[in-house]
């Protein structure tokens, strides 16, 4: 599928989801569903802005994704479009893949991510030289989840 062939998808009803953001991480919002330390699983929803890209990163854990709204666009570090995942796409990926950025197509994309077998960082955030500038693992997601719950109370 070429980007110009994409059409808007039916909106995912996220009216009961309170999206969270992290200062400095543009074009992305998240909602943590669960952090299971014993099973080493982190489940969350991401919403990436239309026609924008999130920070360069690498996955440090095996993952599964399901696109719930829009299309997920994956870009190589040099900015080249690598892949388009349309609504309904389910993908299983392995840790330590190619660094990349991601973003929405012509509408915001909402994606379910489940990260499995987490033994270290789930995500490594990279700078333009692909040096690690931040990591998000179970401790960070647990803290974000607890903050999310306390804001909802």
Task: Identify the pLDDT of residue 50.
Answer: 97
pTM of the model: 0.92
CB atoms within 10 A of CB 88: 10
Residues contacting 15, CB < 8 A, separation 6+: none
The answer, yes or no, to whether residue 81 has pLDDT greater than 50, is yes
Task: Identify the pLDDT of residue 70.
Answer: 97
pLDDT digits (tens, 9 = 90+) for 29-72: 999 999 999 999 999 999 999 999 999 999 999 999 999 999 99
CB 57 within 8 A of CB 125: yes
CB 60 within 8 A of CB 137: yes
Overall average pLDDT of the 1-27 stretch: 82
pLDDT digits (tens, 9 = 90+) for 95-112: 988 999 999 999 999 999
């Amino acid at each position: 599928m070429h980007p110009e062939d994409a059409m808007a998808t039916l909106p995912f009803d996220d009216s009961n989801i309170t999206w969270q953001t992290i200062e400095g991480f543009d074009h992305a919002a998240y909602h943590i569903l669960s952090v299971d330390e014993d099973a080493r699983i982190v489940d969350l929803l991401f919403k990436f802005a239309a026609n924008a890209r999130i920070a360069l990163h690498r996955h440090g854990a095996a993952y599964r994704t399901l696109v719930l709204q829009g299309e997920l666009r994956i870009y190589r570090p040099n900015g080249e479009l690598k892949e388009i995942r349309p609504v309904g796409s389910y993908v299983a990926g392995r840790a330590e893949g190619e660094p990349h950025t991601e973003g929405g197509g012509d509408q915001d994309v909402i994606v379910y991510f489940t990260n499995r077998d987490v033994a270290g960082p789930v995500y490594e955030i990279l700078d333009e030289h692909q040096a690690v500038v931040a990591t998000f693992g179970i401790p960070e997601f647990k803290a974000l989840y607890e903050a999310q719950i306390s804001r909802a109370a």
